[in-house]
Amino acid sequence: MDSDDESFGEHDSGNVSSGDDDFAMDVDINNPRDRGQETDEYPYDVLTTDEIVQHMVDCIKDVNTVVEIPATITRILLNHFKWDKEKLMERFYDGDQDKLFKDAHVINPFRKPSLALKPKIKKSRTEDCEICYSTFPPSMMTGLECGHRFCTQCWQEYLTTKIVEEGLGLSIACAAHGCDILVDDVTVMRLVQDPRVRLKYQHLITNSFVECNRLLRWCPSADCTYAIKVQYVDPRPVVCKCNHVFCFECGENWHDPVQCRLLKKWIKKCDDDSETSNWIAANTKECPKCNVTIEKDGGCNHMVCKNQNCKHDFCWVCLGSWEPHGSSWYNCNRYDEDEARAARDAQEKLRSTLARYLHYYNRYINHMQSLKFEHKLYAAVKEKMEEMQQHNMSWIEVQFLKKAVDILCQCRQTLMCTYVFAYYLKKNNQSQIFEENQRDLETATETLSEYLERDITSENLADIKQKVQDKYRYCEKRRKVLLDHVHEGYEKDWWEYTN
């Protein structure tokens, strides 16, 4: 990269490495490198912010050696194609180049500029700025290849607003009304003088590069500034240098055995339903005609659906049509009519659906909360490890306690995800085997958790190691059995899902 390199040559990455001061920071609740199966043949690199910037510069250079256009334009074109170099090359050589540059909102560098785009300089050797309507010498005016020129101060204020207030990076368009030509990064860095604004712009460019590039993903852990770079996208676990384990494809915490699409569907459902579902179950009913949820806010049992397309009149008590109730509504003398019975059946079906959701949701949340509580075990385990070291045990010999908590957290994470998988799973013979494996893992996990929380402090030091190892090894075994069974089901198409 030529002059364009200077824009990022002094880039302040803002990268903060995670320290190892806190014992709990070494936690790896679901480290796939320990399991070996998921990360086989899935290479990836963990990049610092400076390495990300260098990777971006290298991508631009790779393209420039072939297409031979200005690096600033190359950056905009790559961003337009989400940094897919092969796709850009294909369009550049096989397609309509004029359309390519137009779609990317840049001026075709191979076309000579039109005379109409030349600056309008008066006889007094001055130009008018069409933003502030002041007159300036040409040296104080600047513009893009589109020919729109404004004074330097107006450009600075315009770019500062776009960067600081709107958070725009490579998508800043020309300041002229109706012009969609993008401002290149060299122009921005030349015009913007405030170091804080320049730094913000550099961070926006870097962030845009990662988020647009399908082979890169920021680590989702709080305050982590590392990114993961892969060779191809796959729903596989990756481990950041901060020890956070997540799925590269969807960015969520590693969620084996449930697939990304089902987890995304579950998270959306929980966001929509979980806060109000208990209250709805206790305080509302559904309109027997359109199934809209209705709250009874008065003593009268004559209900009128508020859905503008329904307006159905029905009885709150029996859910039958209101019309045959007449003046004796309080006796509900039509309670056993076929219409009322059908309405009650529909109501019961909806209630059953809600009860089923709550069954899986409550267990999902319970393991999520238990997982948070398990992290407190690291403090207690650390004290026990220090006590053991005072009784002639080496640091390596006492690591079994930390490993036990690591495995406990792995099991909690897996169990949490199994309830998402089970919610969408249709019943068959294999699903029954899955539920048995789930039960066995849950029982083993609770046994290990209870021992570590309650019994470990009262046990003789000599007996602890064997008991802990026996329990966490059994948990590991049950977890592997469950995951292997689910993965085998994926390969053999055992699993069918509800809508």
Any idea what DSSP says for residue 185?
H
pLDDT for residue 132: 92
Spatial CA neighbour of 183 closest among 193, 195, 169, 196: 169
Token match 């992290």: residue?
375
Distance CA 354, CA 299 (A): 26
Active site residue 300: yes
Given a contact cutoff of 8 angstroms between Cβ atoms, the answer to whether 64 and 71 are in contact is yes
Beta strands in 123-276 (DSSP E): 127-128, 135-136, 141-143, 149-151, 216-218, 227-230, 237-239, 245-247
pLDDT per residue as tens, the chain (499 positions): 444 444 544 444 444 333 333 443 344 444 544 443 444 578 999 999 999 999 999 999 999 888 888 889 999 999 999 898 889 998 888 878 889 999 999 998 887 665 445 556 656 688 889 899 999 998 899 988 888 999 999 999 999 999 999 988 888 999 999 999 999 999 999 999 999 999 999 999 999 999 989 999 999 998 899 999 999 999 999 999 998 999 999 999 999 999 999 999 999 888 876 555 656 665 677 888 888 878 777 667 778 888 888 888 887 777 777 776 655 444 555 445 566 667 667 767 777 887 888 899 999 999 998 888 877 788 778 877 887 777 777 788 888 888 998 999 999 999 999 999 999 999 999 999 999 999 999 999 999 988 887 766 555 666 778 888 999 999 999 999 999 999 999 999 999 998 7
pLDDT for residue 334: 46
351 vs 278, 347, 355, CA distance in Å?
Answer: 11, 6, 6
Beta bridge partners of 26: none
Among candidate residues 240, 300, 315, 417, the one labeled active-site is 300
Domain boundaries, the chain: 354-492
CATH class of residue range 354-492? mainly alpha
Distance CA 362, CA 270 (A): 11
pTM: 0.72
Distance CA 151, CA 142 (A): 6
Peptide bond into 119 cis (omega under 30): no
Distance CA 175, CA 477 (A): 63
User: Using only C-alpha atoms, what is the Rg of the chain?
Assistant: 32
Cβ of 439: how many Cβ atoms within 10 Å? 12
318 vs 104, 162, 338, 348, CA distance in Å?
Answer: 63, 60, 11, 12
Map residue 284 onto helix, strand or coil.
strand
- Tell me the angle at which helices 338-374 and 260-273 cross, rounded to the nearest 10 degrees: 110
Token match 């809600």: residue?
354
Given a contact cutoff of 8 angstroms between Cβ atoms, the answer to whether 354 and 362 are in contact is no
Residue type, 282: A
Given a contact cutoff of 8 angstroms between Cβ atoms, the answer to whether 162 and 128 are in contact is no
157 vs 103, 132, 180, 184, 333, CA distance in Å?
Answer: 27, 11, 18, 16, 76
